[in-house]
Amino acid sequence: MARFALALLSLWLLRPTLLRAHPAHAEEVNYPLVTGFQRFHAADDSPEHLAKGGELLLNELNCVACHAPPEPLRRRFPGAAGPNLAGVASRFGDESVVQLLLRNPRMLKRSTPMPSLFAGPDRDEEELAALYAYLVSLRQKPGEPLLLGNVERGRKLYHETGCIACHAPDGEYVPPGFPAEATPEAPAIPSQPVRIALFWTADHLTRFLLDPLEYHPSGRMPGQGLAEIEAADLAAYLQASPLRQEPDPARLQETADPGLAARGRAWFASKGCGNCHETGDGPMPRRRAKPLLELRPEPHGCLQDEPLAGAVPYYYLSPLQRSALTLALQNLATTETTAGIDEWMTRMDCYACHARQGKGGPEAAREPYFGALGPDAVDRESFLPPALEDVFQRRTDAGLRDLFSGRAARRYPKAGARMIRLPEPMVEEFLRMR
């Protein structure tokens, strides 16, 4: 792991000079980033409002995968599944990346919502070796080679099709129409990181961008209906960093010891990994913890402020997140059993692009990337994703299904941002609420 560890150290040491350029080096927060919570909840909120933020965290950190909510609350807390791990070792092609994901996922993505299961003082190297062997055993055969992308085309796509609504802009990219004497303002709302793209193989990153839902079924990284060449261009740009390390498939364990991999599968289930992740390896036993309503609103278990020995996951929560979760647990008995449109849009981060009833929409520092300062932008709002004051009322259920699937014709041709695509179950969940 020495070569990879050195590259990772470089990522941290060179951050001050690179943060203002390629988005893979943008600053990350030091706790699980849930954008809706970060944007709409603060320390001086009323306890009632902060408790609502805690409910959002219960869902987005997927606490409900282990702590089952009672039947009346299941629609309010559907959870957010983790990435599908089928073929995960093939995506990176380097044992160092896979091992770091197991040891401490924050080394690759500091603001990840994925907890560490080996942060405590009783880290078991034998367990880690078995889990690694199991993940390697999930490798898949490579698909047909895809197109090679163009970095400059990808850079333009990244900044003009809506990626920067959630992800950091390139500090050296100047939006169309931006005053020559001015410097684009850095976004205040933390961005979802893209640094892990540096460690993917180019083909797998392209395939991910073509169909994110195959890799991330939660829909938090939605599809945009990209053509193959567009996905290849975006992949080329996201990996156009001087710190990119070419994956070395020769460093990946060629064959996993079947016995060790079988023990790793058992550990995978017993530690609760199968509660959040599919593996494509058949049914996985689920680990059950205390039901949601039986959890005590105290700083223990998953809410502890330092890693503990045992099987308790450690989330690196911020003090505000702990407070919000504690308040949410106190109020669960009186929580509404059904979620509304606002809650659904906050969960899915629709407010990164769209405003509704005065809430959300692109923050001011991100607006220029939508073309709102371009030479044709007489009316800036026509270049931004539309506000949703009455869109839901104007469209039928069938029309909304077509919109979310990409079949509907665009009604806002000036807006360059692509309308996202969501999996059918989430669309149906949305339609039940409207």
Indicate whether 106 belongs to any domain: yes
pLDDT score for 412: 62
Average pLDDT of the chain, as a whole number: 85
How are the residues of the chain apportioned to helix, strand and coil, as percentages rounded to the nearest 5? Answer: 45, 0, 50
Q: Are residues 83 and 106 in the same domain?
A: yes
Indicate whether 243 belongs to any domain: no
Q: 251-267: per-residue pLDDT in tens?
A: 655 556 889 999 999 99
Q: Are residues 326 and 358 in the same domain?
A: no
Q: Are residues 349 and 416 in the same domain?
A: yes
Number of domains comprising the chain: 2
Averaged pLDDT, 384-404: 83
Residue 374, pLDDT > 80, answer no
pLDDT score for 179: 81
Percentage with pLDDT > 70 across the chain: 87
Q: Are residues 135 and 262 in the same domain?
A: yes
pLDDT score for 15: 41
Q: Are residues 381 and 398 in the same domain?
A: yes
Residue 25, pLDDT > 70, answer yes
Residue 10, pLDDT > 60, answer no
Indicate whether 213 belongs to any domain: no
pLDDT score for 6: 46
Q: Are residues 300 and 368 in the same domain?
A: no
Q: Are residues 133 and 273 in the same domain?
A: yes
Instruction: Assign 300 a pLDDT band (cuts: 50, 70, 90).
Output: confident
227: left (phi over 0), alpha (psi -120 to 50) or beta: beta
Residue 18, pLDDT > 50, answer no
Residue 355, pLDDT > 50, answer yes
Q: Are residues 325 and 356 in the same domain?
A: no
Averaged pLDDT, 175-189: 85
Domain membership of residue 366 as a residue range = 341-433
Indicate whether 223 belongs to any domain: no
Q: Are residues 321 and 409 in the same domain?
A: no
pLDDT score for 409: 65
Q: Are residues 285 and 425 in the same domain?
A: no
Q: Are residues 261 and 394 in the same domain?
A: no
Indicate whether 15 belongs to any domain: no
Residue 283 Cα distances to 52, 81, 87, 277, 364, angstroms = 34, 16, 16, 11, 46
pTM: 0.90
Indicate whether 190 belongs to any domain: no
Q: 48-65: per-residue pLDDT in tens?
A: 999 999 999 999 999 999
DSSP string, 112-146: -SPPBSS-STT--HHHHHHHHHHHHHT--------
Q: Which of 301, 334, 367 is the last residue of a domain?
A: 334
Averaged pLDDT, 72-86: 93
Q: Which of 285, 308, 334 is the last residue of a domain?
A: 334
Indicate whether 188 belongs to any domain: no
Q: 407-432: per-residue pLDDT in tens?
A: 776 666 566 788 888 888 888 888 88
Residue 129, pLDDT > 80, answer yes
Q: Which of 334, 368, 401 is the last residue of a domain?
A: 334
Residue 156, pLDDT > 90, answer yes
Q: Are residues 390 and 302 in the same domain?
A: no
Please tell me the distance from the alpha carbon of residue 429 to that of residue 434, in angstroms, as a whole number. 9
- Report how far apart the first and last C-alpha atoms of the chain are (Å, whole number): 51
Averaged pLDDT, 350-360: 93
Indicate whether 56 belongs to any domain: yes
424-433 and 397-405 helices cross at what angle (nearest 10)? 150
